[in-house]
Structures are given as C-alpha cells and as structure tokens.
Structure 1
Amino acid sequence: MSEQGQASRRGRLTVYLGAAPGVGKTYAMLSEARRRCERGTDVVIGYVETHGREHTAGMLEGLEVLPRKEVSYRGTTFTEMDTEAVIARAPAVVCVDELAHTNVPGSAREKRAEDVELIRRAGIDVITTVNIQHLESLNDEVERITGVRQRETVPDDVVRTADQIQLVDMSPDALRRRMAHGNIYRADQIDASLTSYFRVGNLTALRELALLWLADRVDDALGDYRRAHRIEHPWPAKERIVVAVTGGAESETLLRRGARLAQRAAGSDLIALHVIAADGIANPDEARIERAQQLVASLGGTFHSVVGEDVPQAVVDYATGANATMIIVGVSRHGRLRRLFTGTTGERIASLAGTIDVHLVTHEQGAGAGRPRWYASPLSPRRQVAGVVLSVVLPLLLTLVLRQFSDPDQLPLDVLLFLAVTVLVALVGGMLPALIAAVGGFLLMNWFFTPPVRRLTISEPTNVVALLVFVAVAIGVARVVDRASRRASDAVRARTEAATLGSLSRSVLTGQDTADAIVARLRETFGQRAASLLSRSPTGWTVVAATGPDAACAPDEGDTRVAVDDDHVIVLCGAPLRATDQRVLEAFAVQTSLVLEYRRLRERDERAAALERAEATSTAILRAVSHDLRTPLATMRTSVDGLVSGSLPPADQAELVAAVESSADQLERLIDNLLDLSRLESGLVHPVPRDLSLEEVLPLAVAGHPAGSVSLEVEETVPLVRTDPGLLERIVANLIGNAVRVSAGAPVRVLAHVLPATVEVLVVDRGPGVPPDQRERMFEPFQRLGDASPGGLGLGLAVARGLAEAIGGSLTAEDTPGGGLTMILAVPRA
C-alpha cells in the first residue's frame, strides 16, 4: 500500500487480552507477527518486553526491531517506544507490547495507549497486548480478589473498540506449572508469587473476569451485526430474561421468579422493564417502583424505564432490541368482565412476542385483587356532598317544572332535560352523584311522564328504548366526566411535581442551594410548620439547618422524616404528607445529599489548596534558608573570625564590624519577611485599625535611607486614613527600600493622592521598570524577576501586598511616565 493510501485510513487495532500475567500474550503477538511476515506483510516491532523469558526472546529472531528512545528522569536513563520513528518508518503493522504502560515523565505522551492512537491515525495497523487486571472498570474487582492495586490502567473503551480481540487463556494449574518451571519469573520470585498473586483462587477469578468481559464485548458485536443487517428477530446467544414490572404488589414476585430462571444458566442477564404511559399522567406506586429497583440491583440485574402508548408493544419492542430470550409477565389483576372485552396484557405480549418465550406467572394479586374502589372520587368532599344534594334536588325541581307543561308527546324533550341535569350533577359531584341523578331521573320520568303515568309500566316500546338510552348515556357521560376529573387532577399534580423537580435540578446544577435554603424550601413547598436537617454525631443528633418554630432536634420529634444518607435525615413538623408528596420529598433528600457532598468537596479542595500553598511556601523557604540565609551568616562568621584573631589593623577591624552589622541587618530583614509571610499564609495577622494622619507614619518609613535618596511630598491637607500604623509603616518602608535599590541614585518620590473612598500612597522610582505581563508575578513569593541585588529572597512585595490586603487596602503597580515603576498603595479613608 502506498504511503498516501496508508495515511488516508485509520489503522486497525488487534488486542491480545491476557487472563493473567504469564499466559503467553506477548508470545502469541509475536507468533502473529511472524505469520504475517511469512505472508509478505511489512511488520516491525515497536516495543516488546520479554522479561528475560527465553522462548519469548527467541520469537524476535528475524523480525525488525526499531531502536527505543532514551528518556532521562531524576538522573536515570529509561527507554520507551520511539513513536515518531515508528510513524516515520511507516510499516504496515507494528507490534506494541503492554498497552496499559505509563510512559516515563518527560515523554511526549503520558500513556502508551496515546502513542498507539497516534500510530493508528497515521494509518498503521497495531497489534498490542494487555492483561485483564489493567482494564479501568475492573480495577476495584481485581484489588478485592488479589489484594494488589494496579497502578497502570487503560480505559475500557480503548480495548472494547478494538477491531479484533484475542483472548489468551490458560488453566490455573497449567499457569502455576509454568511459574514453577521458571518460565515466567526469576527463581527468587517463584515461591512468593505462587503463594500470593498466583494462587488458584486468584487465577480462577481473573479467568472468569476475562471471560465475562469478553462475552460482553462479543455480545456488543453481535448486536452491531444484527443492527447492520437489519435482523429484527432475536438471536438466542445467551439467556436474557425481561421482567415486565407494572409497579403493582406482584412486581417483587415476578422479579424473584425471573432471578431463579436466570440462575439456571450461567451468564444469564436479568432485566427489569417498567413502561411509563406516554401521556405522563398515569401515577404508579413510586415506592413500589423504588423497591423493585433495589431488589433488581440485589439480584444482580438491571432496571430500565421506557415510555410508550401501548404497553405490550413497548415491552416486546424493548425485548427484541435487547435480544431477549424470555419475557416474564404476571397474570392480569382485572376482573373477568374486563378481561372478556379488552383482553390481558400477557395475552397481547404473547401474541406479539414472536420467537421470544413468554412466561406467565401467577401471584396473589391476580384475578382482580388489589383494584381501586370504583367509586373513589378525586374531587373534594365538599363537591361530592354538593353533587349528592344536587342529584336529589335538581331532578325533583325539573319534575315540578315539567309537570306544569305536561304533554305526552314531549317525552324526548324530557329525556334531554333530565340528561342535561345528570351531566350538570356529574360536573359538580363526579360519578356517584351522577348515577343517583340518572337512576332518579329514570324513575321520575317513568312515573310522571311515560304513559301510563303514575305506574312503573310502560305501554310504548319506543319509550322503553328512550329511557334505557337515557340511563346508558347518563352513565357514560358521568363516567367520562369522572375520568376527565381524575386525569385533570393527576395532570395538575404531575405538573406541580415536574415544576418542583425541575427547580431542584436547576439549583443543583448551578450549585445555588445551601442546607438552609433546602429546609426553607421544604417548609414552603409542603406547607409544614417547621423543617430541619439533622446530622448524626457520636453524642446524638445535631442540627445542620432548621427553619420554623419548634424545629425538631431529633428524628422522633417530627411528623415526617426521610433519610438523606447514613448520617443525615430530614425531619418535618406538620401535617402528614400524602404518598405522592413523599416522592418529591425523596427528591429533596437526593438534592440535600448532593449539597452535602458539594460542601465536603469544597472543604476538601480548600484544605488541599491550603496544603498545596503551605507545601510550596515550605519548599521555597527551605531553598531560601539553604542559600540566601547562609550568605549573611557566612559573612558574619568570617568577620568574627577575623576580629577574634586580633592581628588586624584598626581600619580593617572597623570594616569587619561594619560587615557584621550589615549582615545582621540583612539577616534580620530576611527573617522578618519570612515570619511575615508565614503569618500571612496562616492567617495570624490581626490589624488594629485607628484613624490617623499619614504624617504620623510616612516619615518613620522614610527614615534610615541616605539623605537625598527619598523625597517625601505629602501635603498637610491629606485627610485621615483608617489603618494599622505599624503595618502601614512596614508596607511603605518595604516599597521605599525596593525603589531605592533599583533607582541607581535617582531620588524616590513618595506622594499622596486623595480619592473619594481611599487615599493612595504612591512610591515612584526611576529604575528599569517591570514589563506589564510580569507585574502580577512580582507579587508572588520568591519572585526576583531579574533582581540581582544580593541578599534578597523575593519576599518583599509578596509580604507588602499581603499586609495591604490585611489592613483593607490594595497594592498595584503602574508605569512611571518617563521610565520606572510606581507602586500604588490604596488605604481606606477614615
């Protein structure tokens, strides 16, 4: 293949997956490389680790091995695969051992898997190896089995999306024999390995992990093949049992039966499926659904929810897509009459399932048990009472009115009027009052308006039909009105719950909620007298957040409680909640757990950041102590030694004394800066502000500098400032000292600029200045930025800014017109 054609495609990836170390995956990879070479394929070895195994090393004979790249790290030289050399060589196939390997720090890429990805982008096929214990998803399981944490891992998707996976397997006994014969590790490692990692139980468990993981990969490939070839009917590659969960009391029975059937065949999958009505109004028992989810998880299965208008069709469609072999459904809970006219869900699933087996399970809730009472109304008691009263009063009033205009030929009009009364009663009171009105209207029309009157017999057959149609229509209309009322009530409740849960989700995603906000929203949402969030402690329960009078301080003091996690509980005081409200309360509990977790993560991040800053400061201080503090100490020691000798002339002794004094001053400044920095980092600086004039502080800060080196230009009209005088003096003295050091003899000006809220103290120098992109860096500790003056640690400006922030001010830097740097210290006005 030409280089252009090779680069236009993505290289194929072949993975030799080892069930355990030493099963021979590298040997198998090299065998494949030799077979391809014999067929004329251009194959090179990018990286192979033989671990000193004679047979593996022998497989390299006759194969082109590319030189490795050397990488230096901490004074030691390591070798890694030369990825760029592989791409430049552009073979058809390259062999790369140990896909999960982490490259030596300093390499171009962190992981060897990234090198392999780069090679594949160049159009080169890659053959690689990896052990099952190095897959990221199995890391915890492998640690529990072997007791060894694998530090080098590779994401599952890298291996799962390979074009070809070859499992290299060996029985535990055979692998241990290989180990005992010295074919895997050195002789001094054999006994320890056989009694620890290479125990029979460990190897058996690793082997099963490899087989199950690869089985899932093969199953994914089978699904892809079925979708690509549009194969609709299932292929029973392995047992997959779908249990239709309705949310009824029989759900747990069905799940346990499905689990027993799944256990009969190793590797079977248990899938629980709950179909949600497409209109979103149906209201299943959420508590039972949650218990079903927990039961499925404990049985080793998975729980799925789908939305569908036709429940049987949705179940069959999902089972077909999941390549299921069996559907488990419970017998109908409806009565015989309904089953006669509408059929059952199980029968419809069986008729639609095709080649999928349908297992019908009997249960105690079958044959109509557990149905809701037919006359239960969603309306308020007041409306129901009003409906009953109207069902009696309105037909009687209508009868009195119609008797004033009695006409044997107006019976159809009478039927319509009584039907209107029945509809009105249904709208007000629901199903039961409408039935009373329909029956009462039927009797009144029969007695007063149907010939022969004042008798229950009816002479004309058409009148019999009219009255029966009236009763049927009245009952039908009442039923429709009642159902509409139920659906409207369910829709309002669902909309309210959706709005509440949506608000909760937004607040969690934006991180706005706090524990206090949650309990306040709980109290408001559910109309409770008080709400509190409690935390378990060794001495009992403590209140994390509470709102309202008489908030509970212990779980048993409230009327409603829900667990957030093992150590936190939400307690409400007030009217008991309905079952539907309990679901929303549980959503609040989930949000609360997220808020608490966010709080823990923030505290952990803050502690980590503080530790990181402390570590950086400690490291820098150690470097400073090891170098900068030694210099004045060495000068002082040398000078003292010269003075002690007593053989020097007075002029030299005076010079040495001056050197000691200068070094002592330098050492004192360094130690003061280090102590100030340490106090700032630990938050131990506590200013004592008071109102004062700059004339009380600035002359003290200027003192000590040679005459003419500093020009203090502060007018008497400058207003008072609110600050700590000692800290302000330290800041200004520090700034002036830096400015004098860099000004090369030019005088440093100290000015004051009055603003509405602050007074700015300006220290102006004519030194070389600092580039704008480095001005923020110079306020960081141990930043010299080209300052070559002796005895400095780069702490002065860091300490000055820290002290400025401590007194409520700020410290910034600007260019001095004409050259130099101006330090601006803003101090609050009194």
Structure 2
Amino acid sequence: MRRGRLRVLLGAAPGVGKTYSMLEEGRRLRSLGTDVVTAIVETHGRPATRAMTTGLETVPRRTVRHRGVELSELDVDAVIARRPEIALVDELAHDNAPGSRNAKRWEDVEELLDAGISVITTVNIQHIESLGGVVHQVTGVRQRETVPDAVVRAADQIELVDLAPAALRDRLADGDVYPAERIDAALSNYFRLGNLTALRELALLWLADEVDSALKSYRAEHGIDGRWDARERVVVTLTGGPEGETLLRRGARIAARTAGGELLAVHVVSQDGLARRHPDALTSQRALVESLGGSFHEVVGDDVPRALVEFARSVDATQLVIGASRRSRLAAAFTGPGIGATVIRESGDIDVHIVTHAAAGGRFAIPRRGGGLTRRRRLAGFALALLGGPLMTALLVTFRSDESITSDVLSYQLLVVVVALVGGIRPAIFAAVLSGITLDFFFVAPLYTVSIAEPLHALALGLYIVNAVLVSYVVDQAARRSRAARRSAAESQLLATTAGSVLRGEDALQALVGRTREAFGLAGVRLVADPGVGADGAGADGDEGLVLAIDGEPGPGGPSDAIRVGEHATLELHGRLLDASERRLLGVIAAQLDAAIEHRDLSATASELGPLAEADRTRSALLSAVSHDLRRPLASAITAVGGLRSNDVELTADERNELVATADESLAALSSLVTDLLDVSRLQAGALAVVLADVDVDEVVVPSLDELGLGPAEVELDLAPDLPAVSADPALLQRVVVNILANAVRFSPDRRRVRVATSAFADTVQIRVIDHGPGVAEERRDEIFLPFQRLGDTDNLTGLGLGLALARGLTEGMGGTLEADDTPGGGLTMVVSLRAVSGRMDP
C-alpha cells in the first residue's frame, strides 16, 4: 500500500492561524472533489475557527476516562475504517490521554500514513524537540509536549504560517486567541513582543535549514555541481597560528552582511597523524567560532590548498578567508607560490579573501632616518664580494684562453654592479679594487704579478671604481627615497592612530603611550603628572608625580629622554635618545596626549556635574513642594485650629465638628506628604529597611482596597487561584499597591472600573493594575517614575507626584520590578513582578 503524504503547517506561536489555514485548505480541497475529513481539530473556543469546520465531515472522537474525567482523543481506527484521501489532524505534538494505544499524537499520525491516508497537521516551533532548551531560555517556559525533529523533517511538505509579532498581539488584544480573562496575562508574559520576535526568527531559521537540506538533496539527485548563492557561506581557514582570531572575526563580519549568513572554520590535518603545532590556539579558536555562531571542521589531507578548496565546494561556500603568508620573500622565492596563490588559482567561482595580520606584517615601527642602506645590506655586499670574487676567478681560470680577456673583464664588471646593488658604495669600491687586482694577477701578462706598466691598466681600474660609485649612488638614493616614503607612511599611520585614540575616549592615554613605545622601539614609556597634581588635574598632596599611563618596563636608571605634555605632565622615554626628526613627531604625540588628558578631565567634571544637577533639580522640586503643596494642608489645619480657639465667635456644635474634621483631614494629608518625602529621602540614600517574608498576594490586594475605600463599583478583581507566595515585605508591598491603585483610579474615566489581576509565570508572580484612562506615550513612561512628576495632572490637591516613584523604589527594594505597559483598547497597565517562593508555575 502506498504510504500517505504528510503536510505540516508550522507556526511560531499560538494564534498565528495554523488551524484556520488547515481548515481553509481542507475546504478548498473538498470543493475540488477530494475526500477530506476532520480527524481532530482543537478550536479553543475561537468562533472564526469553529466556523471553518462547517461543511467538513468530522470523524467522531474516542472517549478515554482518566481519574474520573472523560477526555476525547483522535480515533485512529475510526479514521482508518473511513479511509479518506486526506485527514486533518490538529496539534501534532499533543500528548494522548493515559491508557491510549499511542502516547503521542504524532504516533497516531504515523499509523494513518502507513494506512495510505495523507495527513495535514499543525505544530508550533516551541514543540520541536531540539529547540526546547532555546525556547525555555527565551520564554522561561519548559514545553512538556514535543515532537521529534525527524518526524517533522520527514514531512513531504512543510509550510510556515507567519504573522508579524505586533499583528499577533493585536489579534490577542481583540480577543481572537484567548478569552478576555487571559488576555492581560498572555500579553505581559508569553506574548511579549521580544518573545514573539525571537520565536518567529527561530521558526524562520529552522525552516531555512530544512529548505537548505532539500536543496542539497535536489542538487545531488540531479548531479548539479555548480554553486548556487542562495545565501552566504563563509569558510575561514585555521592553521593554529595566532592569526586565527583575526581571520575568524573578519569572516564573521562578512557572513553578517547578509541575512542567514553561515560561518564555517576548517583546519587541515596532515595524513601522517602528527600532533598539531598549536593545539591550545586551535582549542581557543574553536570556542570563538562557536561563540560567533559558526561551526568548526577538520579535514585530512597532505595537499592543503586542494583540501581547502574541496571542503569549500562540499559546503557550497561563497567566500573563502585565508591569512597572508608568514613566509619571507626569500623563502617564497625558493619554495614557489604559497597556499594563498594556489587556493586563488583553484577556487573557481568562490571568492577568496587574503587577510593580513600581525604575524605576516611584523610589529609596527617607524623606519629611522640615516643612510639609505641598512648595515645588514652593507655586510651582505662585502660578503658577496669576498665570496663571489674567488668563485668567479676559479671559473674564469678554468675556461681561460687568449681571446677571453674581454669576457673576463665583463664578468668582473658584472660582479661589481651586483655588489653595488646589494651593498652600496663601500662594498662596490672594495669589489672594484679586488677585481682589478685579480684581473691583473691572473689574466694580464705577465701573469701572477701585480703591476701597472700600461696606462690603460690604470684607466681600467679607474673605470671599475667609477662604475661602482655611479651604480651604488643610484642604489643608495633609491633606498633613501624608499625609506623616506616608508617613514612618511608610518608617521601618517601613527598620527592617524593617535588621533583615533583620542576620539575613542577612556583608553586614549594608555593607547597613545603604548603606540609611542612600539613606534620608536623604546623599552618603556611613562606619562607622569607633575608632583602635586591629582588624576583629575586638580591639586594633590605628594612629592612624586602620579603615573597616568605606562607601557613596557622603564629602566632603573631613570628616563633616557623626556618631553613636556601640556602644563601638568611629562612623557618619560626609557631605552634610547631620539634624534631631531623623531622628537618632532613626538611633539605631535605630546599634543594628542594633552588633548586626551583634557578630554578625560572634562569627562570627569561632566560626570560629577550630572548628579549635582539631578540633586539640584530634586532640591528645587522639593522646595516648590514644601512652599506650595505642604502649605495648603498646613494652612487649613492652622485656620481650623484657630477657629476652634477663637473666643470672638460662638460656634455651634456642627461648626465645631466641621472645623475638627477639617483639621484632622489636613493634618492627615500633611502627615502623608511628609511620610512620602521621608521615604523618598530614604530611597535616595539607600537606607530603606526591607524585611522579606513569604507573602500571599491576595492578603495584600484586598487590604489595599479597604485602605483606599474602594469597592466593586470602582475596582474589578481577577485574582488567580492557587497563586504561589511571593518574597516581599508585606507593609511595603501594600504601599506599592495602594499608590498604584490611587493613581489608576484618579485617571480612569467615569464608569470604567480599574481592574486588578494576578498571575504566575515561570518563577514570577505579577500584579497588574489596569486602567482605561488617557495612558502615557511610550517615550515618556520613564518620567512617570521620577519624583515630583505629575504628567497630565494639573490638580495640585493630589499630592507631590511621589506615588509611582515610591512604588518603583519600594518594589526594587524587595527585588522586584515595576513597569508600565499599554492597556489593549487604551489606557495604562502597571505590572508589579515579584519572585515566587513556592516553585515554578507554567502559564
């Protein structure tokens, strides 16, 4: 019997429309004449989904009784007996009721497929087995119902039912996913915008990997070897050398340029099985690859370039990153083209990036002024003259004849030119004199004597020396210009680096000092403030200057040179004296150091002024509050008490009671305001006393309503049953709820009750106070938690604007958080989150 085909509708989260799409496809196929039945569909009470089942034949479910409860499950036998062409099976990852033939619904689906019945099913990305850990990390919820990856990957067709996170939250707020009593908890917990975005990305990446596997299978079946650039795959070659980290980070940047880019690192192991040259470096580089989101691979092969190219082709690489050769030019000249040149030649349509690194270019240093040729080159010239002269003499003596004098002279002339090119003027003159004497001794009659009997011989020797001087002069000038060009480039690089270091800010001093030591080849460099000058440039006690930055090891005998930096610091140089040109460049560095010190001092001053400005703002607001908000209840109390004490007017009993009530109300308001001010002071001073205990949230919410005198007409309660206790200070938590409730009731429109809801999510218990007032713009929500802020409240009788500031401070003092969020349909929702102490609860 032909096995049925499996079609999976994959979603990122509940509510994206998988079941609706499955039923819609079933209705379409039925209209085309296909025999389609609904094997099992979970509508979750959604009217739109229930309406889509109309017109589709439904196979009755089987009933399973478990612990006195009747549960309905997919009836596999009934579906097989009905033998439709296609069966619609919802929620592939569902766990069947205990006592069922199969523990999992996907096992029921396997039976239907084996019976030749095709199946269209649904599954969410969080239920795929291999992604359980990632989903738990993102959402805080551990999924119990899972389906093996292999089951989903074996499907004949996988489709993504996608919906933007913001659109899904709108659908949830409109009541299209969950009933009204679950909307707020869902929006605040699992269906947060960040969670939905991460789950959507997870679904897209998982499906992309599946598409990639299908593409590879298709190309293998059809014998397609050419590269298809569906996405960037960057292969970085690692040798185990120190350049590996540089190459990996460059490869990661290349891979990140396009969405879905993939990073692969490869190390070629020789077939002889010998140990790696740098096993520790490879281990750390492997960890770096994994931290960058890539994968590490090892291949075996003696021909490294061929192995690299073959691996790159096997993974459909689009980019290949290799390091610049660490060989010298001389080694390259004798050993032929390196790995990089060979890889470029054989890579074909794969782009190759050769990345330079410290091991290839050596350390940065400014070329010194002076002679064009180095001492090493001059010594090499003398060595060439001493070794090349006897070797050439032996060769020419062996093949000497009476007619060979011209070729002998030209041969020695060539030797002189070569020595001049290598070592300059002094080795060239030495070679010319030595060649003239050798010619006269071995090749000019009388042989084996040194005599200049003919003027032409003297002329010949003079021409040797003139030619040597001219050639060596040209070589020396070219070397001088080359060195000057390199020095100018190095100076430009150093100045650019120093300027960039100043712009980078905090580490500018250390970067400049380190660059100076390296550039001038010094043993150590110190930047020292003048005695009596502190780190911030202000005066300080002490006879020794403060070290602002140091690099290298300063010598015990004191600095070899020093230069002033601004008015209050000195740059000490240890190792050698600098020449005039180097000191000129050092002056530019000193100016940059002075700018960096000034930048640091200004930053320190600015950081000190910030708290002072905030304190000044708070002080001004406090004075304003004391002068205005505290004066009102104080004046009322004084007036009432004065009226009671007055003997000029006879007061009735009702008038006396009214004055007493006014005084009592004013003094109570005054006490509340002073208490709030003291609490804010304690919070800002870090002196808040918090006594944590296991607190029942319900026992805090209800007394808070009583304290405010609020009843069912003003507040609607939605307290979750079996809520775990929280770790909190009961008195402080009640103050938090009272302050938030008072604020919510104040801004709620008439006949719209404030709603107080509680829920548990992962290790957190939340208290949500929901109003339907004007709300607060997202960019201004942080302001409502600042002291003395009354956004949108012009009524000076409502307090000092400390309620929410106190609520957040008290909540954070108990280890919780207080955040503001939108209320679906308009308004503001304040969410208090506290740590649960009775274990984890899943939503």
Q: TM-score, normalised by structure 2?
A: 0.46
Q: TM-score, normalised by structure 1?
A: 0.47
